[in-house]
Amino acid sequence: MGPHKLHQGIYKRSVQDLAPREVRNKTVFLRCDLNVPLTDDLGVSDDTRIREAVPTIKILLANRAKVLLASHLGRPKGVDQKLRLSPVADRLRQLGIEVEVAEDCIGDKVVTQIQQLKPGQVLLLENTRFHKEEEKNDALFAKQLAACADLYVNDAFGCAHRAHASTEGVSHHLSPCVAGLLMQKELNYLESKVRDAQPPFCAIVGGSKVSSKIDVLRALLDQVDRLIIGGGMVFTFLKARGISVGSSLVEEDKLGLALDLEQQAEIKGVQLLLPTDVVIADRFAADAEARVVSVNAIPDGWMGLDIGPDSTKAFKAALKGCKTVLWNGPMGVFEFDKFAAGTFAIAETVAELTPQGCTTIIGGGDSVAAVGKAGLQDKMSHISTGGGAALELLEGKILPGVACLDDATHHQLQPLTAIGHLAYYYTLAQVYKVASLLLPMGARAHSPHALGSGAVRKFIRTSSSECVQV
């Protein structure tokens, strides 16, 4: 996969493109998105983002780097003892990453700890948002963060849409500046596989408000064959058609926009699907009285909180045979069991498409939580760790945390680098097939069975002194 080509036509270097000499004994400022939810007793309730950061950490440690691991957690106003990163450190240790924790992310004590780091060690810097300068992308603060580092690796896709000191500012003081493995994977799925999607391509867009998805809906109309609309935004579309929607959520100032989007879909030959029946409630509560009615029969005082069974069947039929599916936003209020059936049915349908050769992408936000609640995380091609970043990338916007990374010339995409990257995401047989095409005959293994995990590492490592070991 190598350097990733962004929509603005610029290739970016990846950690996979670094030669060992660029990493060995160097201090790496590694920005990850470790902003995970915590329990009341300060345990990690969902470690997805931590686990996704591990491959990049490991590849740096394997090449004898000294790693400064940086992240924010929550939205503190100054130092907040409940938002320290020690629970993240505990989880990293459980995942096999030995890590020390700094008292702060800048300052003399931190500098001393960094100076004592040895190759192959990790120091977790404290919550960058304990300093107000972080979100302001303060130049001096960014310089302090980068002061003891040699190079920058950005693996924080979930923060890439923010120009903060630890995501964009440090790039002005360090070189090289490259993407981590998670960043690379996110860009590959959310941009490359969407831009060059194999048809039929169906997008499922849900959520409460049309206003939060305007740009992504417009962008998708130029790319998809089918567009399924669910969630609370449905009722703005229905009211724009002149249908009474009771007390359902409606953005009155977006009725014209909804009509325009439908017209644009028709002009562009996109099949746009709205629910024909919904599950309604007499109030917004988990124990509310619920009924299934046609969208043309929502009584006054009732609100729609999920798609109905007929709509679910229609949406499943529209998804059948698709080769690319992008899902962003739930079909209803899945947090309430009475109104979760539609969302979970769509999740199960999308999951069933993956082994049929469909690329299934969960594009961040509440749809990720829904897939997790349904226990289907491992059944999707890709689940994004970014909410706002995923949306902005899909909208075609430039992400500051990506734009600041080094451009790559195409000679930097070495065949063995690509093979090393494949080892993370594909089967050994697939790696062997690509290796057989890219490597000289004399360097090929004799069979896929020879490519055990250790053999893959040795095979890649010994075949090129310039290849980063995986």
Give the pLDDT confidence of 202-216 residue by residue, as tens digits. Answer: 999 998 888 888 889
Does residue 400 carry a pLDDT above 60?
yes
Active site residue 388: yes
Catalytic residue among 206, 230, 332, 365: 365
Q: Which pLDDT band, with edges at 50, 70 and 90, does 410 fall under?
A: low
Over range 194-199, report the average pLDDT.
90
Q: Is residue 385 part of a domain?
A: no
Please give the Cα distance from 150 to 8 (Å, whole number): 28
| 246 is known as an active-site residue | no
The one catalytic residue among 388, 397, 444, 461 = 388
- One domain for residues 238 and 302: yes
Say yes or no to pLDDT of 436 above 60. Answer: no
User: Which residue ranges make up the annotated binding site?
Assistant: 33-35, 49, 72-75, 129, 162, 213, 304, 335, 364-367
- 469 within a domain of the structure (yes/no): no
> What residues form the annotated binding site for (2R)-3-phosphoglycerate?
49, 129, 162
Other CB atoms within 10 Å distance of the CB of residue 236: 25
Distance (Å, rounded) from C-alpha 274 to C-alpha 226?
11
The active-site residue, picked from 5, 64, 136, 209, is 209
Q: Determine the pLDDT at residue 348.
A: 97
Q: Is residue 467 scored above 60 in pLDDT?
A: no
pLDDT: which is higher, 369 or 438: 369
Gap between the Cα atoms of 380 and 199, Å rounded: 18
More reliable by pLDDT, 396 or 426 = 396
Are residue 145 and residue 201 in the same domain, yes or no?
A: no
Whether residues 91 and 145 fall in one domain = yes
Q: Are residues 209 and 181 in the same domain?
A: no
Is 192 within the bounds of a domain? no
Question: Among 15-19, 100-104, 353-357, 364-368, where is mean pLDDT lowest?
Answer: 364-368
Residue 132 sits in the same domain as residue 182: yes
Instruction: Tell me the percentage of the chain whose pLDDT exceeds 90.
Output: 71
Q: What is the mean pLDDT of residues 342-360?
A: 96
Annotation says 49 is catalytic:
yes
Report the candidate in 223, 188, 202 with the shortest Cα–Cα distance to residue 323: 202
For residue 468, pLDDT beyond 70: no
- Residues 221-265: tens digit of each pLDDT: 999 999 999 999 999 999 999 999 999 999 999 999 999 999 999
Q: Tell me, yes or no, whether 300 and 155 share the same domain.
A: no
152 shares its domain with 206: no
pLDDT score for 194: 87
Are residues 217 and 352 located together in one domain of the fold? yes
Provide the pLDDT confidence category of residue 428 given band limits of 50, 70 and 90.
Answer: very low
pLDDT at 450 over 80: no
Report yes or no on 238 lying in a domain: yes
> Is the pLDDT reported for residue 130 higher than 70?
yes
Q: Of 13, 26, 31, 49, which residue is the catalytic one? A: 49
- Binding residue numbers for substrate: 33-35, 72-75
Residue 390 counted as domain residue: no
Does the residue 335 lie in any domain?
A: yes
The pTM of this model reads 0.80
Residue 177 lies in a domain: yes
Q: Does residue 386 carry a catalytic annotation?
A: no
Same domain (yes/no): 26, 155? yes
Same domain, 154 and 209: no
Could you tell me the end-to-end alpha-carbon distance of the chain, in angstroms, rounded to an integer?
A: 14
In a domain, 393, yes or no: no
CATH number, position 129: 3.40.50.1260
Residue 181's pLDDT is what? 95
Is residue 166 within 8 A of residue 141, CB to CB? The reply is no
**Domain membership of residue 359 as a residue range:** 197-380
Q: How far is CA 340 from CA 214, 312, 332, in A?
A: 25, 12, 6
Checking if the pLDDT of 13 tops 80, the result is yes
- If one counts the domains in the chain, the total is 3
Residues of each annotated binding site for ATP: 213, 304, 335, 364-367
